[in-house]
Structure formats: structure tokens, C-alpha cells
Amino acid sequence: MWDALAEICDREAKTPSALCSEIDRTRDPAGSLTAAVRVFLLVYFREAATEQGHREARRSSLSA
């Protein structure tokens, strides 16, 4: 989880604190911040995924 958060911070040029603060401001107050971060990570990478990316990942995993 923390590696994924760090990767997003690098891509978005934000500190982990700044990104978590943004997530905290937009989360459902009935849920935990940890759960909101996990959902954010899933949504971020799911939206970033493309069919081409899936094909390339499949090829590279087969050649490894």
C-alpha cells in the first residue's frame, strides 16, 4: 500500500502528507482514512490502466 502511495506521490509531485490530506478532505466521514486511501489507490491505478498497458504487462511477465 505504501509503495503504491509513494509511486502516486512521485507521479503527481505531491508529498504523502499532502495527498493523504486531500483524500481525507474528500472521504466519507463514516469511514476510516486508511480505507479511503486504499480505495483511492485502487481507483487511481484502475483509471490509469489501459488495454495497451495490460497487453504490455502480460508480455513482460511472460518474458521474465
Indicate the number of domains in the chain: 1
pLDDT classification of 60: cutoffs 50, 70, 90: very low
Residue 61: pLDDT band with limits 50, 70, 90: very low
Domain carrying residue 36: 2-63
CA distance 48 to 37: 16
Report whether pLDDT(62) > 50.
no
State residue 58's pLDDT score.
58
Say how far apart CA 59 and CA 20 lie, in whole Å.
34
Higher pLDDT, 58 or 41: 41
Neighbours of 31 (CB within 10 A): 10
Q: Which residue type does 18 have?
A: A
pLDDT tens digits, 2-44: 999 999 999 889 999 999 999 999 999 999 999 999 999 998 8
